[in-house]
Chain A
Amino acid sequence: KNQVEQSPQSLIILEGKNCTLQCNYTVSPFSNLRWYKQDTGRGPVSLTIMTFSENTKSNGRYTATLDADTKQSSLHITASQLSDSASYICVVNRMDSSYKLIFGSGTRLLVRP
């Protein structure tokens, strides 16, 4: 079954601290993996997109890693800010005729002052 599992489900950190969010997937065949940030009451916004051959990609203070062999990805947030409080959703694109996007349930991050 094609699944995307994220952990932790929720996380609280202090402003300025770093954190890492995890994503494990069983989607096959695999095309690409995306991390989205979703602020409360808003639609998801893309942070990074990685293909099979890429194992790291950065977007400012966000760095995503991908291990296609173990089917794991992580999103590292450096020097967190209050505005980082949001849900972070891992999405895997299945590479077949349907080209479906498989969404994880997200990690809800709260950054406290």
Chain B
Amino acid sequence: EAGVVQSPRYKIIEKKQPVAFWCNPISGHNTLYWYLQNLGQGPELLIRYENEEAVDDSQLPKDRFSAERLKGVDSTLKIQPAELGDSAVYLCASSRRGVKDEQFFGPGTRLTVL
């Protein structure tokens, strides 16, 4: 069974530029999560999808962050415009059905904003 796939693995951009991250969850997993992880910290939830519906986006900075999960499979997280403080690792995870199920994490995208 293939794991959660994320791309790109690394991204370096200048501040005020847009950036997008892509995630392909494990096949059959209905729930998809985007997390932000700062160095030396645990992941922080940005948004959770149940199929194509965003059921928890309370921690997503909506002025510059957006996400979509068309057709309830792949997902894209976008930042526009990026700020220096957005430098972090962006993790995608999926679970079969809801947060009670085990979450499987992708390798993450390390974003550096210069």
Measuring CB to CB, which residues of chain A are less than 8 angstroms from any residue of chain B?
Answer: 4, 31-32, 34, 41-46, 49, 89, 91, 93, 98-101, 103-106, 108
User: How far apart are the CA atoms of A108 and B41 in the complex, in Å?
Assistant: 10
Which of chain B's residues have a CB closer than 8 A to the CB of A41? 107-108, 110
- Interface residue total, chain B, C-beta cutoff 8 A: 21
A44 engages B100 (CB within 8 Å): no
* 29 residue pairs from A and B, CB less than 8 Å apart: A4-B42, A31-B100, A41-B107, A41-B110, A42-B107, A42-B108, A43-B4, A43-B91, A43-B93, A43-B106, A43-B107, A44-B43, A44-B91, A46-B102, A46-B104, A89-B42, A89-B43, A98-B56, A99-B98, A99-B99, A99-B100, A100-B45, A100-B99, A101-B103, A103-B42, A103-B44, A104-B42, A105-B40, A105-B41
Which of chain B's residues have a CB closer than 8 A to the CB of A98? 56
Which of chain A's residues have a CB closer than 8 A to the CB of B4? 43
Beta-carbon nearest neighbor of B4 in chain A: A43
> Contact partner of A106 among B42, B45, B56, CB < 8 A?
B42
> What 7 pairs across the A-B complex have the smallest Cβ distances?
A43-B105, A103-B42, A99-B99, A44-B105, A105-B42, A43-B106, A105-B41
User: How far apart are the CA atoms of A45 and B107 in the complex, in Å?
Assistant: 10
Which of chain A's residues have a CB closer than 8 A to the CB of B100? 31-32, 93, 99
Beta-carbon nearest neighbor of A108 in chain B: B40
Contact with A along B29-46 (1 / 0, CB 8 A): 000000000001111110
Which of chain A's residues have a CB closer than 8 A to the CB of B110? 41
